Amino acid sequence: MPKIKVAMYGLTSEAYRLAADLVDKAQITIVDETLQMAMDLDPAFLKKNPNLQDVMAEEPLLSVKPLEQVLGEAQVIFFTPRLRRPSDETLIEAGTKLRDLARYLSKGVTLVNSLPTGPGGNSENIMLVEKQTGLQVGSTITYSYMPLRPRDPKPAVVSAAGLMEKGALQLLGFVPNSQNVFSAELEYASGVMETAVSSVTEIEMARRAREAKVSIQRPSSAYLDEFSKFLYELKAIQSSEETGESISYLAGAALKSFDNYVRYVVDETREVLKEKQLKASRTKISLLWNLDKYEMRGERLQVAESIQQRLRDYVTDVDVVSRPKGRGGAELLDPLKHNVVIVCSKDDLDVMKQARKEQRSVETTVLSATPALTRD
């Protein structure tokens, strides 16, 4: 029996890892929607190259196919776009990329939206697809909502409109676990809001404690990397509701708090410079954050850039350093300067510990980007 033809529309880490999970059941092609190129992925290649960032850094020779041919032949297309416009334009960018993809959809295809939406967001997507294609979701085309969490190839929820019994998704191993697409939206949004509200509560309580110079009995150990991962979802949730609705207000308040946290990090770093009487010319600031240039959402990259730009108002030598756990940290510290290192995840903390072991004599202050912004 021939394998199902699957296309990943978006050269992203989530799509690449999902492809690795499906490659034994399907014939996989991944599409770089920016360059309008499509590349086949086979089991041997995916097993040998588990990380997309490493693959792209080596510039491998992959078989390239015409975009029209790949999308025209695909039975299942996963919408996994790489979003990189400024933060306030990402929702518009997502809509534009879906409109571009819709031009290639044909009768009988299953379109899987792997980009999260707010409540009702998929209804807008379905209307867009039907208008662009002239096809009818539920009769001549299947639409599925399977949102992927950041850096995670496992769908958070699985739902579909017009999915026939033993359809292509079931053959790939996906079984709907939500009543319909709208219920899946609510389930996913609920999980996002629960995580976000918990995170911003910790951020704001820790800020109050710092200002009052008191300690909190149970400080949070969550890092910036963890509580900045759902910024795209919060924007989608906020925009999906009428202004004044409770859920819109909560999502907006969470976004505001996360935006303020960037300022808290910068202010705390300034306090370090002031208390240690560090001269700008003799100081190096490193934002240590293992960022994935190919993940679907661009929010983490934008947060890092925002912190970097704000800190350059005080110190010229400010770098964003992305070094995965297990890689050496010797080049991280400058032996001729006082190094202020802002650690943004638990894995980055391990990298920092290794760097300190390798360069014990280097002057270093470590600021952990947790709600409490602790120093070492």
Domains, the chain, with CATH or none: 4-178 (3.40.50.720), 185-368 (3.40.50.1400)
The letter for the amino acid at 345 is: S
Q: Can you tell me the distance from the alpha carbon of 147 to that of 206, in angstroms, rounded to the nearest whole number?
A: 32
Question: 323-345 burial by CB neighbour count: b if 16+ within 10 A, else e?
Answer: beeeeebeebbbeebbbbbbbbb
Q: How do the pLDDT tens digits run along the chain, 376 residues long?
A: 689 999 999 999 999 999 999 999 999 999 999 988 999 999 999 999 999 988 888 766 567 888 999 999 999 999 999 999 988 899 999 999 999 999 999 999 999 999 999 999 999 999 999 999 999 998 899 999 999 999 999 999 999 986 554 588 989 999 889 989 999 999 999 999 999 999 999 999 999 998 898 987 766 789 999 989 999 999 999 998 765 688 999 999 999 999 999 999 999 999 999 999 999 999 999 999 999 999 999 999 999 999 999 999 999 999 999 976 655 556 789 999 999 999 999 999 999 999 998 888 999 999 999 999 999 8
97 close to 81: Cβ distance less than 8 angstroms: yes
Nearest CA among 290, 300, 277, 286 for reference residue 332 = 286
pLDDT of res. 101: 97
Nearest CA among 300, 299, 295, 297 for reference residue 15 = 295
Question: If 0-12 CB within 10 Å is exposed, 13-18 middle and 19+ buried, where does residue 45 land?
Answer: middle
318 close to 265: Cβ distance less than 8 angstroms: no
pLDDT of res. 346: 93
Per the DSSP assignment, residues forming a β-bridge with 338 are 283
Q: Can you tell me the distance from the alpha carbon of 118 to that of 133, in angstroms, rounded to the nearest whole number?
A: 24
pLDDT of res. 120: 92
Phi, psi at residue 139, to the nearest 5°? -130, -50
Torsion angle, alpha carbons of 91, 95, 97, 98, to 10: 130
CB atoms within 10 A of CB 308: 17
How far from the centroid of its chain's Cα atoms is residue 193's Cα?
A: 16
What angle is formed at CA 56 by the lines to CA 55 and CA 58, rounded to 5 degrees? 70
Torsion angle, alpha carbons of 243, 246, 247, 250, to 10: 100
Q: Can you tell me the distance from the alpha carbon of 353 to that of 347, in angstroms, rounded to the nearest whole number?
A: 10
38 close to 66: Cβ distance less than 8 angstroms: yes
User: Which secondary-structure segment (H or E) carries 89?
Assistant: none
Please tell me the pTM assigned to this model.
Answer: 0.93
Q: Can you tell me the distance from the alpha carbon of 296 to that of 306, in angstroms, rounded to the nearest whole number?
A: 19
DSSP letter string, 146-169: -PBPTT--SBS--EEESPPTT-HH
Q: Can you tell me the distance from the alpha carbon of 280 to that of 317, in angstroms, rounded to the nearest whole number?
A: 8
pLDDT of res. 331: 75
pLDDT of res. 217: 73
128 close to 185: Cβ distance less than 8 angstroms: no
